Structure 1
Amino acid sequence: MTWQSPIAPGISWYQATLEERPAYPRLEESTSADVAIVGGGFTGLQAAYHLAANGTDVVLIDAARLGDGASGRNGGQLGTGQHWWPEDMESKLGPERSKAFFRIAEDAKSHLLDFAKTHGINIDFQPGQISVAHKRNMEFSFKNHVEALAERYDYPHLSFLSKHETEERLGSNRYFCGIRDIGTGHIHPLKLLIGTGKAAATAGARIFEMTKADNIEQKEGRIAVSTERGTVTADRVLIACNGYIEEHLEPGTAAKVMPIRSFIAATRPVTKSEKILPGGESVDDSRFVVRYFRKTKTGELLFGGREAYTADQPKDISKHLRRQIAEIYPALKKIEITHAWGGNVGITMPRRPLVHEIMPGVTSIGGFSGHGVLLSNYCGKLFAEELLGQSSELDLYRDLDIPAFPGGGALRKPLLFLALTWFSLRDRF
């Protein structure tokens, strides 16, 4: 029977191409642990693995199945750096902090690929990513970005693409220039997620699916995470719900992390004669309401975007994405779409990750703002290393100023509609 996520619409191509997807039990009775983790995405599972592998007793609970959230349903692009380009971060945080954040993102990239190799996880890695400009006046900033990373960040893997070169690489004349990055790539995120879950369970972490956290409170010197059928009592708690954080569970995080619905469609395999992405790179464009696409190893085009004017869960996801595909690839306007799905991307106001303590012993991590494949995995590892006394790197994120959205959690949805509508209009002009 095909599994339909209770927290996100549509059946993903990722799920349809799995050979197996292990199921984990519900929590049926109260238990205790050294560390309790709420959320079974990349952050929670990486933390669970590294803690359990070092002898810590860990219980992880997830409200749905592992991979039902953004970690198992995203675009699969690794990217380079943080959300903001380093030269832009320099003006906001200073050159030294900007370089520290770039270094941590490169460490995150190496960690992800090394983790998959060490644990025998076939993540379908393909090298290369292209960032493209949807406006003509972006050429200077694209060229400057290539130079800045080579000269100040010791990252020689970028090359500027002229309009003609961009057309050749994409098989589309829709964009004005681009940047090719051969130091990164794209993956099958659900394979990585499932492999990380297996590694955590093998290391000794106790994982429970379909177990929703209802409340978190301090009780008799420890922290109690209550669920429908039992309570997990622990010395430390990690909340790793990202774009699925609920206000009743943790209002402080909900006020600072806004969920944006993003949608992806998978087409039938494109042929070589169609000359689409002949180099196999993934693509992201410069729109605020970003469009991102790539070919899988078997040739399917995965195309992601967000339509600001649709309902939160449109009845026909593929209709809106087909229109966007046709804007970039007119010849594909009638191509067969085999799968269409959506999910939440967690963003913060400054588009930087949120790491904060909501009460003594309870840490919340999220708001990766479109860079979650790399950063969520690594932040989970850093959380574990912090508890084990092995690293203090997580303080880089903890020291960031992440303000609440105006109106807090209660106004997230109306603000989301207004913001996406406004930026969608800006993207057009």
Structure 2
Amino acid sequence: MMIRLWPVFVIALLVSISCGTRVPIVTTPEYPNFVFPGIPTTYGGGLQLQDQQSAWAFLQTGDLNGAKHRFEELLEMDSNFFPAVVGLGWVDLAEGRFQEAAAQFRLALDQKEDYVSALVGHGDALYRLNDIVSALKSYRFAVKINPSLLRVERIVAELSLQVMTDQLVEARQFGEDGRLTDSEQAYREVIQGSPGSAFLYVELARIKQQQNELSEALVVIGQALALDDTYAEAFLLQGDLFESNGELELAVSAYTRANAIAPSELTADALSRARSGLRAVDLPTEYREIVTKGEITRGELAALLGVELGGLLRDAGSEVSTPIFTDTRNYWASQWVIEVARAGVMNVDGRYQFEPGRVVRRGGLAEIVAATLLLIAEFDPESGRRWRAARPRFTDLTSDHLNFDSASIAVGADVLDLSENGRFLPTRVVSGRDAADVVAKLTDLFERVR
């Protein structure tokens, strides 16, 4: 059997430790938050737990020089005794030497990466050095190993919120500055620390949308909805992504969910737009080109109304005979011309001509809008009375003007607007885009009341 022989100087040192200076008795620890660096079961050297406890007693009674001397003596006996290195780290921390403390704890962690006392001490030192992210990483590892560290657990919660807030501000700022790659990376780091926050996925999906990576954006928004399937904003963005991809049926479904959860003008407009786009897929080319035109004609306006408000118009004209036209037989939108005429929204002149090619001006548009609003008012009489009673102040229309009453109703319902100086501009030509916006407002009003 081999007998381990200790050098004479080591024996002398042990005698000095055990007999030289009396170990103080700890009544109230000077540093109650410090974590005692115990001896791991894997340690195979000659030092004992009592040796480490003796050095720690000096620290906890406030004798930092005595503690430092004891830990250094232990290291002289065994240079690989990393619990003493951690003890020195705690001494440095108590003295406010945070850089030196962090280095000591790091030395110990290089030998045993899951050594809890070193992890906590490393976190404390890094926190004092304002390296919050690294401190949080060290704290989290310590709590994962030992969940009973209540102080550390509390610090983890507080720092996680602080780090997430700082990183979120940074991620948003990167996005505003157009640094989309940096923004994406910052969002992913925030999500790593708070994987259960649906709003973070929504914001990341917006960044992916700006990068024109729609497929990946849809994956990310799907993760948000998996966390919260009542998140209206997530459904709204999902609908926008589907719409951009040309997947209009899925867009309508997503917008419908958003509008059902949190109805607003934004969700209603998006739903109306997607439904219109879906309907327009099978519509004539002439219809799809309307919004691009600088001037809209009566026939084109009839098409917009017929497609978007077909249900309202058909109900209103269900018991009315089909008018006689002499100029729309071969017109591409003749079916919708019939619908608006039967509903009384657009009139035929005494010569039985609809004049589908005549340009629409704001005065004529006001007449059509007012007639449509009165049909909608049959479903919502209170709004109808309010629209009829509205008396906007026009600077270019008097009460005896041909379009005054209709313009008052249309402006009173917020379907048509005035210029900055209060002018209605009845002779101004209406563009296809403007007409589409007006019909969208009418559709929204009808959707709300029917």
**TM tier, shorter chain?**
under 0.3
- Between Structure 1 and Structure 2, the one with more strand by share is 1
Give TM-score, length-normalised by structure 2. Answer: 0.20
The structure, 1 or 2, with the larger RCO (C-alpha pairs under 8 Å, 6+ apart) is 1
Give TM-score, length-normalised by structure 1. Answer: 0.21
| Greater C-alpha Rg | 2
- Between Structure 1 and Structure 2, the one with more helix by share is 2
